A and B are shown apart, each in its own frame.
Chain A
Amino acid sequence: MVDATIPPFERFYGEHCNEVLGYLRRLLGARAEDAWQETFLKALRAYDRLEHGRHLRAWVFTIATRVAMDDLRSKASNTLLLGEIADGDGAELARPAYQQLEHLTGELPPTERAAVVLRYGYDLPYAEIGAALGSSEQAARAAASSGVRRLRKS
């Protein structure tokens, strides 16, 4: 049986703070740090209302995705970021196909970008990506494949 105890926040934070920052860097470039802090403050605000300690990784990616989507949608000009993404970020990416495409995801619409990065950068299942995007598993799958098609054309 999976241990459903909610871990002390320090452990949860220690396990996820770096990968969430990496994720937000891919979505937001240089604006990632503010979004990162907002993500973990939101997590902390909700943490004492959690009912169990399962799926915390998907949960924090969901919060980060929503913070990033709000940020991306609020920016009038949605041109970004490619130059801002730091070198070396790609080291943790194992999938060759994604590695070749990753530097182009900045040109995708926000939802497709998040779906592609969560699927191919962080291995989240489509059900959890759907939850993060506030949509269904099918919609998440569609967003990721549409994103990948768009990248292949570019």
Chain B
Amino acid sequence: LSVSPDLDARFRAAALREGLVDVRFDIIDSPVGDLLVASTMRGLCRISFTVEGQDEALARLFGARVLRMPLDEVRRELDEYFEGRRREFDLPLDLRVAPFHEAVLRELARVPYGQVDTYGHLAAKVGRPNAARAVGTVMNRNPIPIVLPCHRIIGANGSLTGYGGGLDAKRALLELEGATLAL
């Protein structure tokens, strides 16, 4: 005997309606591979290029009441972005990071669609001109890539340097946005 899809869906909807879910996640396909997306009641809290085993990390950060559920708004905005029809995201975010990370990510969010900037320049913008390496760490741990566009941050010499989703994904996102790269 197994729970029917209908019964399962009714339970999940009731759980959400009652405010009993700390964090819900969904796995959506994209041109840069499957993405795990997760939201709290406050907003989008995670996009991950690694989809397996993320529920435990989510539980540690946001609470054990983790449930898989469709995240239609997130899916719609990402679909529009990947189709080239969206340049900015309107999703509310739930960013739970240390103050320096938050300052850097807020500055990162202002780097316009289709443009690139450097780690050093981003460091200067948050008043820490010598902290390019620390900014690299913030990019590396960016909990909401794509929406917070760390793919737009490159090395001073124009190299792509690195990306959580792999350099191919970084290149694909910049090409999608029509960014012109020196290299």
A9 contacts which chain B residues (CB < 8 A)? 59, 64-67
Choose one: A13, A33, A44; the contact of B7 (CB below 8 Å): A33
Of the candidate stretches B9-17, B86-94, B132-140, B151-159, the one touching chain A is B9-17
Instruction: State in angstroms the CA–CA spacing of A50 and B59 once bound together.
Output: 13
A50 contacts which chain B residues (CB < 8 A)? 64
Of the candidate stretches A34-42, A65-73, A98-106, A144-152, the one touching chain B is A34-42
A22 contacts which chain B residues (CB < 8 A)? 1
Instruction: State in angstroms the CA–CA spacing of A33 and B67 once bound together.
Output: 20
Given A17-B8, A44-B65: 15 more A-B contacts, CB < 8 Å: A7-B56, A8-B55, A8-B66, A9-B66, A17-B3, A21-B1, A21-B2, A33-B7, A37-B11, A40-B11, A41-B15, A44-B21, A45-B20, A48-B22, A48-B63
Q: Which residue of A lies closest to B15 (CB)?
A: A44
> What's the least CB distance linking A24 to chain B, in Å?
10
Digitize A83-102: 1 where CB-to-B-CB distance is under 8 Å, 0 elsewhere.
00010110010000000000
> What's the least CB distance linking A59 to chain B, in Å?
14
Interface flag for A108 (CB, 8 Å): no
> What's the least CB distance linking B10 to chain A, in Å?
7
Q: Which residue of B lies closest to A6 (CB)?
A: B64
Interface flag for B68 (CB, 8 Å): yes
Q: A29-78: which have CB < 8 Å to B?
A: 33, 36-37, 40-41, 44-45, 47-48, 50
A21 contacts which chain B residues (CB < 8 A)? 1-3, 7
Q: How many A-B residue pairs have CB under 8 A?
A: 65
A88 contacts which chain B residues (CB < 8 A)? 1
With contacts A10-B55, A41-B15 known, is A36 near B3, CB below 8 A?
Answer: yes
A13 contacts which chain B residues (CB < 8 A)? 67
Interface flag for A113 (CB, 8 Å): no
Digitize B101-133: 1 where CB-to-A-CB distance is under 8 Å, 0 elsewhere.
000000000000000000000000000000000
Choose one: A25, A36, A47, A86; the contact of B65 (CB below 8 Å): A47
Interface flag for B18 (CB, 8 Å): yes
B55 contacts which chain A residues (CB < 8 A)? 8, 10-11
A138 contacts which chain B residues (CB < 8 A)? none
Q: Which residue of A lies closest to B2 (CB)?
A: A18
With contacts A9-B67, A10-B68 known, is A41 near B11, CB below 8 A?
Answer: yes
With contacts A37-B10, A41-B14, A44-B15 known, is A10 near B3, CB below 8 A?
Answer: no
B173 contacts which chain A residues (CB < 8 A)? none
Q: In the A-B complex, list the 5 residue pairs whose CB atoms are closest, starting with the nearest.
A: A8-B66, A8-B55, A8-B59, A22-B1, A44-B20
A11 contacts which chain B residues (CB < 8 A)? 55
Instruction: State in angstroms the CA–CA spacing of A47 and B18 once bound together.
Output: 14
B45 contacts which chain A residues (CB < 8 A)? none
